[in-house]
Structure 1
Amino acid sequence: MPLHPEIAKVVANQPAPPEGPLDPVALRAAEEAHIAPPEERLPLHAVDEVTVHTASGGIPARIYTPAEADAYGLLVYFHGGAFFLGSLETHDHVARSLAKETGLKVISVGYRLAPEAAFPAGLDDCYAVVRWAAETGESLAWDGTTLAIAGDSSGGNFVAAVAAKAHDDGFHRITHQILYYPSLDLDFDVDRYASLRENAVGYGLETAGLRPFNAFYLDSGADPADPLVSPIKRADLTGLPPALIVTAACDPLRDEGEAYGRRLREAGVEATVSRYEGAGHGFVQHFSWIPEYHRVFAQTRDFLGRR
């Protein structure tokens, strides 16, 4: 499967990964260096910085209000980055596009990252913000209907894990879960899914890089056998919210996302799986400026509108 020509050009010019152990501080700095300046960002009615206070401390969050209205549905967004990269800034454009296209008020979560914060700190932060959004809905002008959760890559992992935690806790306010090319199985045996071999090399994210990039999370205490770490390992998926799972044809993680969608449907959960041809891992973050991939936000809007 060939990459989209615009993506292929970028992948061909990617620098070789640095030799030796990964340096999370340096990698974060390199990622932050590519953030668009504020004046070039998609304008919205309001973008507000808040701190969500929890028993574990304050969690930074950013609230995106698309237009002036009396009430809003809510979407809580978890950015990707292999559990150690990403921030409110690196995924600001994704949150803005979600707000603009869906009309929902989007709450982006600046959760704690590995390796500085051990498992399950980041997951707990994401869950805490979802609970906060429901419990303080009046201050957010929540209309009391839609409370969706969405995330890309490792953020998609957190979406599945938060949905499971909420179900087990008897918290049934989450109405939708949206997972963009999710990382759902942190057992990186290359024989588990055909896409790990088919898309192993040459598409941006490479299969050989999965283990070292996720090592910060796994070494912090995240056990790949734990369903909160590898949500596809959860035995019983019944009762979970309806799901939209977006996969990329040229992504090593493609097949685990699609397998999760099948398992949800087998458990009686409404699950839509949508594969984007010519796309590699990370396309929502990096290539949503390409028209055929920007439609992922319209697809998200349509999915949210079906309930």
Structure 2
Amino acid sequence: MSSKKPTEVTAADEPHPEISGLLQQMGAAPAPTFNSLSPEGARELFNTMFPRPEEPEPVRDTIDLAIGDEGIPIRVYIPEGEGPYPTLLYLHGGGWVVGNIDLYDATCRAITNEADCMVVSVDYRLAPEYEFPTPLEDCYTAAEWVFETAEAMQIDTDNVAIGGDSAGGNLAAAVTLLARERDGPTFDQQLLIYPVTDHEFDTTSYQENAEGYLLTKADMEWFWDHYLRDDLDGMNPYASPLKAESLEGLPSATVTTCGFDPLCDEGAAYAARLENAGIDVTHYHYDDAIHGIAQMLVEPMDLTRGRELIDDVATDLQRVFD
């Protein structure tokens, strides 16, 4: 179950029954791990992990565009009703190495409908072909585009949020830091779904959830190795937001963590640091869930906890947008 603003993050005695069943099913048909594959092989594996619906959840409309000098692909999800629309800029997960806007289509459709907002999903360039900070700069370009094209795209610039899951949560947090430094786009909310916040692997959640719960410690080490040019980049707050000297002046935040996730402790630590900096934070903790549930919305992976997470973050977005 979820809780708001937990004093500490802990795991339940065991994962939610649906999640336990999913893990057993996946374990019965062993697949290679990300860290044993090339980036191309990992992308092929990731593409097969999540089912696609025969009919996607309907939204009013979608528009595929290419933006910026590099032609970064984006997909715009338009909700019912008339604009200008409150808008979420969404950055997908996948360890900066795998993932694309098609694989996060169900997630973005669900958020569009539940939060009644426009969603702009960004297909930023991936590592290792494009190492740090290129993916971040792609996301920053998309952030600028949201505001520069607001009138044409019917975007309500008084109600714009930025968010993402996992590595996308890392990029969303880093974009807000970069925007503060550059006096750039101003967001009303940051939505950080089990985010990567630190290039460290020594937390309790990394030790207790090192393997057996879909995302492993070895996978995260592999993802980081492909994203960063060298270990020195790991000290950069635009790669490791938890290492930022100050978090003052950033947007209010919704942060989610999961009990059986190696990233649980660093997500909770970032939420706590934001709150200590005077930022309004809502922290949802799903003590019986694993990493990746926001993407598990299609049968046979349509998880109760995944739907609950979407409902929780959509409620927070609506509260900010009202």
Place the TM-score, normalised by the shorter chain, in its bin. Answer: over 0.9
Of 14, 19, 34, 1:7 maps to 19
CA shift in 2, pair 1:72/1:19, >3 Å: closer
Aligned-residue offset at 1:156: 0.4
Cα deviation for residue 215 of structure 1 reads 1.5
Alignment deviations for residues 59-95 of structure 1 (CA, whole Å, 9 cap, x no partner): 1000001213132011100000010000011111111
Q: Which amino acid aligns with 1:50?
A: L
Deviation of 1:302 (Å): 2.0
Match of 1:132 among 131, 145, 153: 145
Q: Which of the numbers 283, 291, 304 marks the counterpart of 2:293?
A: 283
Residue 41 (structure 1) aligns with:
56
Q: Hey, what's the Cα distance between the residues in 2 that align with 1:213 and 1:108?
A: 21
Among 224, 235, 249, the alignment partner of 1:239 is 249
Provide the TM-score with structure 2 as the length reference. Answer: 0.88
Structure 1, gaps ≥5 residues long:
none
Match of 2:41 in 1: 26
Superposition pairs for residues 122-271 of structure 1, below 5 Å?
Answer: 122-188=135-201, 190=202, 193-219=203-229, 223-271=233-281
Corresponding residue SS for 1:157: helix
Percent identity reads 36
**1:13-51, CA deviations, whole angstroms, 9 ceiling, x for partnerless residues?**
242535985211122122223565574210111011001
Aligned residues: 302
Structure 1 residue 295: Cα displacement? 2.0
**Could you say what secondary structure the match of 2:234 adopts?**
coil
Q: Helix, strand or coil for the counterpart of 2:219? A: helix
The offset of 1:303, in angstroms, is 1.3
Does the 8 Å contact 1:248/1:277 carry over to 2? Answer: yes
List per-residue Cα deviations over 1:126-173 (Å, max 9, x = no partner): 111011101110111112321101100000000110010011111252
In structure 2, the residue corresponding to 1:262 is in which secondary structure?
A: helix
In 2, the alpha carbon distance for the partners of 1:79 and 1:95 equals 9
Matches within 5 A, 1:68-107: 68-107=81-120
Alpha carbons 1:115, 1:220 under 8 Å: kept: no
SS of equivalent residue, structure 1 residue 87: coil
Contact 2:34 2:42 in 1 (8 A): no
The whole-number CA distance in structure 2 between the counterparts of 1:205 and 1:196 is 10
Calculate the aligned-residue CA RMSD, in Å. 2.0
* Structure 2, gaps ≥5 residues long: 1-12
Which stretch shows the higher mean deviation, 10-19 or 272-281? 10-19
| Paired residues of 1:119 and 1:220 also in contact (CA < 8 A) | no
Q: Distance in 2 between matches of 1:286 and 1:212?
A: 23
Contact persistence 1:118–1:220 (CA under 8 A): no
Query: C-alpha displacement at 1:187, in angstroms?
Result: 2.1
Pair 1:301-2:314 in alignment: yes
In the TM superposition, what whole-angstrom CA distance separates every residue of 1:175-231 from its partner, at most 9, and x where no partner exists?
Answer: 10000100111122x2xx211112223222122332123221124787111101100
Mapped partners of 1:19, 1:167: distance in 2: 34
